[in-house]
A = this chain, B = another copy of it.
Amino acid sequence: MNIELLTIGTELLLGFTIDTNAAHIARTLGEIGVRLVRRGSVGDRGDDIRDAVRESLDRTGALITTGGLGPTRDDITKRVVAELYGTPLEFHDEIWQVLVERFARMGRVAPAVNRLQAEVPRGATVLRNHWGTAPGLWLEDSRGIVIMLPGVPREMRMLLAQEVVPRLAARGANGVIRSRVVRTSGIPESLLAERLGDIEERVTPLTLAYLPGYDGVDLRLTAWNLPSAGADAALADGVGLLRERAGDHVYGEEERDLAAVLLDAARQRGVRIAVAESCTGGLVGKRLTDTPGSSDVFMGGVIAYDNAVKTQLVEVPQVLLDTHGAVSEEVASAMALGVARRLGVSLTLAVTGVAGPGGGSQAKPVGTVWLATALDGAVKTQRLVLPGSREEIRLRAAQAALLFGLRRLQSGARLDAPTDGAPTPA
């Protein structure tokens, strides 16, 4: 079954509200094999709402709307849809009594303006809203289905789960829309596509999407309307193939964060981690501590932003700073070794670079980053030249540092591992 989504509200067109309802609805419907084929947003204007609803019915025959069911003047969804279906609004006293009781529990009298919320298009099914004042409505005839839900995220979610999903599922949608994601880092989209080669034919009937971000490129495989077991089997095969082709650029699956993967790898090996950060200014530590329970592995470290902190807290010799500059292989190495020594940990990650926008030079342009990792006293380094803004460079540098740490752990303490020295743009 296909369906469309129309989110209604002038605020969505002004750009001050980011529409998070749409993503939730899409994911929820996918799980019961209902495919969202189009999304739209219009303001609180009758003509625009009517046109959009009519177009969706003509095109797809099924539509969910959110918003415009409240008690104020700009809440007109119900009226417009009823007009379109040629059906009158009728006052339902039992809905009104529920509202009266609801206000009474808060020690208030229900305002007259809320009486509008007790009006229902004749022939519509009322979807009881226990979480707010606006009931949902399900209106259906030969033209198709319009399911009207409130725009308040919590109310929308509860009504969707408890009233809409069971009814849609009962229509016997067969198959599910299900995805799996393989996460990669350290390889640009186009090179990854070359590596994967003819994989899109190999994974048929699954589809493959490339989703590049600052933390790498995610690969999403999607099964469309397959039986649940078939979807799972096809996705498992596809994920296996992706992992095989993308090799050691893969660090995890689904929403798994690289920092969490690194923490797990360290935990398994009984290794503790510390950081020495210059240009990332705490971002690597922040990433590692985003994960609950990181404290058994992550000790902390030093934000060695100023050179004085590098010398005073991580024992970088002043002569290295004078000779090679703060952004250098020598200083990165000294930071990694220094913090390892000071805190007595096995694995350390050090980052020093030019995040910009100022501070670049011909020899060390903005984006130049030196990473160092010390594992049981053995240091490796990487030089990167990262693209993007200050923010992007910092995000990519932190991601690259975490990936470098993970590769060190995975390759043990071998000094011939293929990672060192190789540029690894995130």
Contacts and interface: CB of A to CB of B under 8 A. Distances in A.
Contacts of A284: 282
Given A42-B38, A356-B292, A30 B48 contact: no
Interface string A35-51: 11111111110001001
Contact of A189 (B71, B282, B294, B388): B71
A84 to B, nearest CB: 17
Given A190-B71, A299-B309, A15 B11 contact: no
Interface string A198-213: 0010000001011110
Given A55-B55, A72-B193, A292-B356, A281 B303 contact: no
B14 A210 contact: no
Nearest to A75: B210
Contacts of A52: 38
A293 interface: yes
A114 interface: yes
B39 A12 contact: yes
A223 to B, nearest CB: 11
Given A281-B288, A288-B281, A309-B299, A113 B15 contact: no
Contacts of A131: 388
Interface in A343-382: 343, 355-358
Interface residues of A, number: 114
A390 interface: yes
Interface string A71-96: 11110000000000000000000000
Nearest to A285: B282
A55 B51 CA distance: 11
A12 B5 CA distance: 12
Given A37-B43, A285-B305, 8 more contacts: A15-B28, A16-B179, A17-B23, A39-B41, A72-B210, A108-B188, A154-B388, A290-B390
Interface of A: 10-20, 22-28, 30, 35-44, 48, 51-52, 55, 59, 70-74, 105-108, 111, 113-114, 131, 152, 154, 177, 179, 181, 188-191, 193-194, 200, 207, 209-212, 220, 222, 274-275, 277-286, 288-290, 292-295, 298-306, 308-309, 312-313, 342-343, 355-358, 385, 387-392, 394, 423, 425
